[in-house]
Amino acid sequence: MSNKPFYSSITKKIIMSLMGLFLITFLVVHLTLNSFLLFSNDLFNAGAHFMGTDPFIQAFQWVLFAGFAIHIFYGIVLQIQNWISRPKGYKRRAFMEQSPFSKYMIYTGLLIFIFLIIHLGNFFFVKMGWIGNGVPLTSNGEENMAELVRNLFQHGGYVAFYVIMFILMGFHLDHAFQSAFQTLGLNHKTYWGFIKGLSRAYAIVITIGFVIIPLFIYFKIV
């Protein structure tokens, strides 16, 4: 069975990696914004306000959604084609991968997708007023996103879920970052070690960065 639908294999991979790199950049922005919470609620609210009102950002968020959608769509297409490519598996398989998390990309990806829905439900949809009782207000009558977040992170179960999801996200990113470079042909023997190191460092920083915020809030450190 041919592996031609939805462009050639390499084109599909290139789309995948470009979207991935785009999302990787987005995560940095997101983390930066989240980290404001560690400093002050006002700073975080100001950031949230900017993100929620700036017309460019407003427009761009649809690009971001499209990025997610394309990334997910191609992730699924690639995976299905890959399963079809080996109709009968091996009885015994040894460990051979050099980038082991690549094996679980579809699973970590799907879990991240579920998380994303829940995450959007908790914040974005609330903010948009599609579900829940709306965002709590500050004393000035402005939206207090910080309060919304802090309230959510009082639930131990939710914090645990959040932490686990970001560890999975870390695995996803550890493969994703360097893999995108390889797919785009940016593999050079002199720099490859650096890119792989950067990939791992990025995955760790993002994971720790996202994870410490709920933990700090839950344990009342900030």
Partner 1 sequence: MNFKLKIWRQASPNDKGQFVDYEVHDISSDASFLEMIDILNDELVEKGEDPIAFDHDCREGICGMCSMFINGHPHGPEAATTTCQLHMRKFKDGETIVIEPWRARPFPVIKDLIVDRSAFDEIIRAGGFISVTTGGVPDANAIPIKKEVADLAMDAAACIGCGACVAACKNASAMLFVSAKVSQFALLPQGKVEAKDRVKSMVAKMDELGFGNCTNTYACEAECPKEISITNIARMNRQFIGAKLG
Q: Does 190 bind partner 1 (CB under 8 A)?
A: no
Nearer to partner 1, 105 or 213 (CB): 105
Neighbours of 63 (CB within 10 A): 11
Q: Does 154 bind partner 1 (CB under 8 A)?
A: no
Burial class for 145, CB neighbours closer than 10 Å (0-12, 13-18, 19+): buried
Q: Does 58 bind partner 1 (CB under 8 A)?
A: no
CA 200-77-94 angle, to 5 degrees, is: 55
* Tokens describing residue 159: 């914090």
Contacting range for partner 1; rule: CB under 8 A; set: 44-52, 97-105, 122-130, 208-216: 97-105
Nearer to partner 1, 44 or 74 (CB): 74
Q: Does 78 bind partner 1 (CB under 8 A)?
A: yes
**If phi over 0 gives left and psi between -120 and 50 gives alpha, with beta otherwise, what is residue 54?**
beta
Q: Does 194 bind partner 1 (CB under 8 A)?
A: no
Nearer to partner 1, 5 or 132 (CB): 5
Q: Does 179 bind partner 1 (CB under 8 A)?
A: yes
Task: Provide φ and ψ at 84, rounded to 5°.
Answer: -65, -30
**How far, in Å, CA of 198 to CA of 178, rounded?**
8
Which residues of the shown chain bind partner 1 in the complex (CB under 8 A)? 1-4, 8-14, 78, 81-82, 84-100, 102-103, 105, 175, 178-179, 182-189, 192
